Amino acid sequence: MYKVDISYRSLIWQRLMHSPLSLFDKVKPNEMVSRTANDTSTISSVVAGLLPTLVGMVYSAYYIIDQLIGYDWELGLGLLAYTPVYVAALIWYGKWNYRTLKHTHNRLASLTQFLSELLVSIPLIKSFATEHKEEKRGKESLQKYYKASMKQTIVNWINTPMISLLTLVMDLFVIVFGIYLVSQGTITIDIWIAFFMYVGMYFGILETFGHMFIQMKESQGASSRIALLLENDLEEYERNRSVEDANRDLEFNQVSFGYGDKKVLEDVTFTVKNGSKTAIVGPSGGGKSTILALVQQLYDPDKGSITYGGIPIEEYHLTDWRKLFSFVAQDSPLLNGTIRDNIVYGVDRDVSETEINEAARAANALQFIKESPQGFETYVGETGANLSGGQRQRIAIARALLRNAKFLLLDEAMASLDGQSKKAVQKAMEKLMEGKTSIVVAHDLSTILNSDQIILINEGTVEAIGTHKELYQRSPLYKGFVEYLSQSSVG
């Protein structure tokens, strides 16, 4: 059983690692954990435990029926005639139990999701003094789960008296009809006693079948949830081409994309020249971050094409393609490990201590690392919680420096930093962008002004492309955008 369990969990984990990002948009992290940890255990117990038992039960039932008919065919046929009634009652109960159990699990999932989200948001709750409101919502969720659990408990309790009643009906038939046959001299008392004992064994097997059916129904929900992972298309890593020349132009050709029914980009066309710095600006929600996701092939365009050196990017081996990029986001995630672990993460070569120190120095992170209790061996905490926002960003930049990829993608990398951290990170950014092709989503004037080209995105479409001077002269939207940023920086 344990080997089956491990095999299932390994399979699920493997598919999670190779599934497209769209799957993770549909399924919440808590549910992913449940599928990997709980659902696989439920299914493996059925496969490893119940199926072998079922084979033995079928053989035993066949042997007992053969013996009973051999003792007396009239009693045997009576037993066989009652068997469908008994089995039908077990199946009906199993389906009923499954429905109530599914409802209970759904309530538990909702409760778990609710509690996990609120516990993370405790600072927000206290800041807005909404403790009583959230306490009430929590009690309502707990009450819904309590009612579902009570209903499940009642359904579970009904199982024993139902089985007892079904068995009692057959026992009465065997007793009454057996006494009649003994009185008529059709069978002897010894055969009747033996028959009665075999009937007990037979119904014991049917009762076990009932429990197995209930367990199989319980695993049905787990099977349907895991089926979504097993049937989901995986990313294709091996393709037609290797990336042999990393000095080409990247082009978007009438690209359209949407998350489900929500259209985000429409007919987006632009070119990123090799070695250039491109800034993408515009109002929030216009699709700027989505462009960076499409460049990395985290999603595929709904229409249009993205080419590299005139070749569609989907023709390149996926691992080779993604190795072209270093990505730094507004709040770059860190793994729950040491500072060293996070700096070298994603670097698939041996890295010397000197290289790590140089990357940290270039990212303006070396000073705070050395001031930390364990230096590079300091644990960053869950998602980097032990570090400030500026420190997390500088570690992310050090990681990007060490990776030394051809392309640099920056997504609002300094949006959440204070003035002092922003200056340190800005210097690190300038170092990071040297000699690279950069695509930068930013609301920082210093980053925008120095760009070779600026792409103005408005409501999912390209409104204008040009240098800062060109756009400032001919685009009212860009001019207003720059003036707003200027006033914000002064303020």
Catalogue the active-site residues. Answer: 412
Closest CA to 412 of 336, 337, 327: 327
C-alpha dihedral over 72, 74, 78, 83, to 10 degrees?
A: 50
| Other Cβ atoms within 10 Å of 354 Cβ, number | 8
Tell me how far apart the alpha carbons of residues 264 and 258 are, in angstroms, rounded to a whole number: 5
> For residue 405, which amino acid is it?
A
**Helix (H) and strand (E) counts in the chain:** 19, 10
C-alpha dihedral over 282, 283, 286, 289, to 10 degrees?
A: 70
> For residue 401, which amino acid is it?
L
Long-range contacts of range 54-60, CB-CB < 8 Å, 24 or more positions apart?
A: 54/209, 54/212, 57/205, 57/208, 57/209, 57/212, 60/201, 60/205
Close Cβ partners of 310 (under 8 Å, ≥ 6 residues apart):
248, 251
| Other Cβ atoms within 10 Å of 105 Cβ, number | 18
Close Cβ partners of 260 (under 8 Å, ≥ 6 residues apart):
none
Class of residue 223 by CB neighbours under 10 A (exposed 0-12, middle 13-18, buried 19+): middle
Which pair of tokens denotes residue 101? 């159990």
Tell me how far apart the alpha carbons of residues 169 and 206 are, in angstroms, rounded to a whole number: 14
Tell me how far apart the alpha carbons of residues 67 and 73 are, in angstroms, rounded to a whole number: 10
For helices 51-71 and 189-231, the axis angle rounded to 10 degrees is 160
C-alpha dihedral over 26, 27, 28, 34, to 10 degrees?
A: 180
Tell me how far apart the alpha carbons of residues 235 and 437 are, in angstroms, rounded to a whole number: 26
Long-range contacts of range 1-4, CB-CB < 8 Å, 24 or more positions apart?
A: 1/44, 1/45, 1/48, 1/49, 3/48, 4/44, 4/47, 4/48
**304-328 burial code (b ≥16 CB/10 A, e <16):** bebbbbeeebbebbbeebbbbbbbb
